[in-house]
Chains A and B, each alone.
Chain A
Amino acid sequence: MTIRPNARTGRFHDFMVAARRDRRLVVQPRMGFDHPAVMRSGLIATRGARATTVGTLTLDSFTRVGDFAAVDRALDAGTRLNGYPIVNYGPAFTRAMLDGVLGADFPIQVRHGSSLPGRIFEALIASGIDASEGGPVSYCLPYGRTPLRRTVAAWRAAGRGFAALREQGVEPHIETFGGCMLGQLCPPAMLVAISVLEGLFFARLGIASVSLSYAQQTHPGQDAEAIAALGSLAAELLPGVEWHIVLYTYMGMYPETRHGALGLVADAARLAAGTGCSRLIVKTAAEADRIPTIAENVEALEVAARAAEGAPPIPSGTDTGILDQARRLVDAVLGLSGDVGAALIEAFAKGYLDIPYCLHPDNAGDTASLITGDGRLEWSRTGALPIPRPGPARRDRLTSRGLLDALSHVKRRYDARIPPQPKEIP
């Protein structure tokens, strides 16, 4: 059978195209359970939430590091895993778990965090799933010691395999995780640059539907400027690719109080809606303590959806140079090689990309950041980055106390808020 160019369908891809057309913010949990019945219940509850939702299968950390023998031992012994072990369960098992849940009205994405994702992509493709996320930089540098060169090769192979679904009439979708990079204290221009570069990496492998991530940081005005910059660069660099922006609710140290935690996810939803993001990954009221329950995930999805309704547009405000910095970073990297993967490896070796506080052996470690008095996340040291240097006033010595203060900046602000009082019923 010959497939016409426009005959491809992708559940996740089609769902996002329709939501964008209707201007509905899609909200999504970060949910993963080891037991298939619990995982299925979680997906059904996500689908039933009063919100436009897509489902998530978050995998366990043994699967993430490729220790499938440890998964087997845990399953045999009945030890709990912190996510769904898609590789060990196998495709027939997962198809049965998803039967009647996964569909055109409810697409599902696999989230994992693996620097060597080959087996995971094989398993999700065989399970009939057409969306995942990650990237050769964002799933390498923050999380271990796998050499960047090895991760780039593994993601290249996995991405090509995923792109090959197009020959079977499926439109696969992949999301970059590059907008996160250690979760906090990475200045927005670097997040924008890596997200765009990973998006381009996937596009060059033949994937025609991508999303670009950005993780909420410390200042809404600065975040709005960064999201606008991400959109501008994506429009320039990804012609012919269907793309959207996905916002992650704050990925750093999370508020402990219920009102603080839900206040932060509501602000993320207003930021997403107000800046034209198409999708939001939520966090729950239990995030600081433990793996959230299904009910806590549904609550977070509904809080986010309500906050996004009627949220006013947020103008990107003062230009503080995020687009200019991100463009310089992207241009410097792409100038190193015609192959995006090779360019990324070279860029980290030269320090053109350098993530503050990242301990990976392939990261130069010559950059640093700080939170300014008005709550913005800025460079305090730029190393060999091809961007303007900060002034000398920003080069104070970092102490253990100062680090804790910076890491807990958002948490303290939201926990200190006055909890909302119940409204009187008229």
Chain B
Amino acid sequence: MSHIQPSTPEGPAPHAILSSIPSDSHTWNLLFMQLLLSEQNWSVTNLGPCVPVEVLRDEAVARQPRLIVISTVNGHGCQDGVRLARTLRAVPALATVPMVLGGKLDVDGSKAATMTGELRDAGFDEVFVGGSAVTDFLGYLRRMAPATATERT
């Protein structure tokens, strides 16, 4: 196993900021997503669990990433996600940066369809839930940056 820590942008690799929502203390999903993005040749700044929205906003303004990825599994993804998207989209520098969210968004999965609409309205470009979430996310990455999508396993 290799060294794991937040990497900083370097070379030609596109840069993504990876974060959770303020109330979610889970780490393993973020670590998995960091590895997944790295394997697709992205450089990643992983802000970790329980990230205040203001911290994410300031990091995004400072780093100007190609992509912002929010991963959450505690069931508060919709409430926290809507507020997060509105806060980031209100900043002119972040008005158009691609921003996606995925994971388990509610306690039992029953409201996923309604929530996806709400989250898109609030400013997310894509919302990935359910069994195909990871596959769909990889497809999204290939569509947005085909040159970087060299699979390394």
- Given A144-B50, A290-B107, is A395 in contact with B1 using a C-beta cutoff of 8 Å? yes
User: What's the nearest-Cβ distance from chain A to residue B139, in Å?
Assistant: 16
User: What's the nearest-Cβ distance from chain A to residue B24, in Å?
Assistant: 9
Chain A residues 337-389 with CB under 8 Å of chain B are: 356-361, 365-366, 368-370, 380-381
A366, A381, A398 interface centre (most CB from chain B within 10 Å): A398
User: What's the nearest-Cβ distance from chain A to residue B121, in Å?
Assistant: 21
User: What's the nearest-Cβ distance from chain B to residue A96, in Å?
Assistant: 29
* Residue contact A144 to B4, C-beta cutoff 8 Å: no
Contacts of A399 in B (CB 8 A): 35, 39, 153
Chain B residues 35-90 with CB under 8 Å of chain A are: 35-36, 39, 46-52, 55, 74
Contacts of A398 in B (CB 8 A): 1-2, 4, 35
- Given A144-B25, A145-B55, A370-B1, is A400 in contact with B49 using a C-beta cutoff of 8 Å? no
Chain B contact residues (Cβ within 8 angstroms of A): what range? 20 to 34
Task: Tell me if A403 is interfacial: C-beta within 8 Å of chain B.
Answer: yes
Task: Tell me if A423 is interfacial: C-beta within 8 Å of chain B.
Answer: no
Task: Tell me if A21 is interfacial: C-beta within 8 Å of chain B.
Answer: no
* Residue contact B27 to A359, C-beta cutoff 8 Å: yes
Instruction: Return the contact of A145 from the options B1, B23, B32, B51 (Cβ within 8 A).
Output: B51
- Given A401-B153, A404-B32, is A368 in contact with B2 using a C-beta cutoff of 8 Å? yes
- Given A381-B1, A400-B35, A403-B35, is A65 in contact with B23 using a C-beta cutoff of 8 Å? yes
* Residue contact B1 to A397, C-beta cutoff 8 Å: yes
- Given A65-B23, A359-B30, is A145 in contact with B52 using a C-beta cutoff of 8 Å? yes
Contacts of B6 in A (CB 8 A): 359, 365
Chain B facing A: main interface SS: loop
Chain A: interface residue total (CB-CB under 8 A): 37
- Given A182-B27, A359-B30, A403-B35, is A143 in contact with B49 using a C-beta cutoff of 8 Å? yes
Whose C-beta in chain A lies nearest to the C-beta of B134?
A400
* Residue contact A400 to B1, C-beta cutoff 8 Å: no
Contacts of B36 in A (CB 8 A): 400
Task: Tell me if A424 is interfacial: C-beta within 8 Å of chain B.
Answer: no
Contacts of A407 in B (CB 8 A): 28
Task: Tell me if B3 is interfacial: C-beta within 8 Å of chain A.
Answer: yes
* Residue contact B27 to A142, C-beta cutoff 8 Å: yes
Contacts of A358 in B (CB 8 A): 27
* Residue contact A143 to B1, C-beta cutoff 8 Å: no
- Cα distance A199–B16 in the bound complex, in angstroms: 40
Contacts of A368 in B (CB 8 A): 1-4
Task: Tell me if B10 is interfacial: C-beta within 8 Å of chain A.
Answer: no
* Residue contact A396 to B1, C-beta cutoff 8 Å: yes
* Residue contact A400 to B2, C-beta cutoff 8 Å: no
Contacts of A360 in B (CB 8 A): 48
Chain A facing B: main interface SS: loop
- Cα distance A370–B1 in the bound complex, in angstroms: 7
Whose C-beta in chain B lies nearest to the C-beta of A383?
B3
- Cα distance A76–B30 in the bound complex, in angstroms: 33
- Cα distance A61–B74 in the bound complex, in angstroms: 10
Contacts of B2 in A (CB 8 A): 368, 381, 395-398
- Cα distance A369–B25 in the bound complex, in angstroms: 21
- Cα distance A290–B28 in the bound complex, in angstroms: 18
* Residue contact A290 to B108, C-beta cutoff 8 Å: yes
User: What's the nearest-Cβ distance from chain A to residue B18, in Å?
Assistant: 10
* Residue contact B23 to A62, C-beta cutoff 8 Å: yes
Instruction: Return the contact of A366 from the options B5, B31, B51 (Cβ within 8 A).
Output: B5
Task: Tell me if A402 is interfacial: C-beta within 8 Å of chain B.
Answer: yes
* Residue contact B48 to A357, C-beta cutoff 8 Å: no
* Residue contact A403 to B23, C-beta cutoff 8 Å: no
Whose C-beta in chain B lies nearest to the C-beta of A62?
B23
Contacts of A113 in B (CB 8 A): 25
A143, A290, A360 interface centre (most CB from chain B within 10 Å): A143
- Cα distance A14–B32 in the bound complex, in angstroms: 44
Contacts of B49 in A (CB 8 A): 142-145, 359
- Cα distance A410–B83 in the bound complex, in angstroms: 37
Whose C-beta in chain B lies nearest to the C-beta of A402?
B1
User: What's the nearest-Cβ distance from chain A to residue B74, in Å?
Assistant: 7
Contacts of B39 in A (CB 8 A): 399-400
Whose C-beta in chain A lies nearest to the C-beta of B28?
A407
Whose C-beta in chain B lies nearest to the C-beta of A113?
B25
* Residue contact A142 to B25, C-beta cutoff 8 Å: yes
- 8 A-B pairs with C-beta separation under 8 A: A61-B23, A143-B25, A357-B27, A359-B31, A359-B47, A370-B1, A381-B2, A402-B1
| Given A359-B47, A359-B48, A400-B36, 11 further pairs, Cβ under 8 A | A142-B27, A145-B47, A359-B27, A359-B30, A365-B3, A369-B1, A396-B1, A399-B39, A400-B32, A400-B35, A401-B153
Interface residues of B (CB under 8 A from A): 1-6, 22-23, 25, 27-28, 30-32, 35-36, 39, 46-52, 55, 74, 107-108, 153
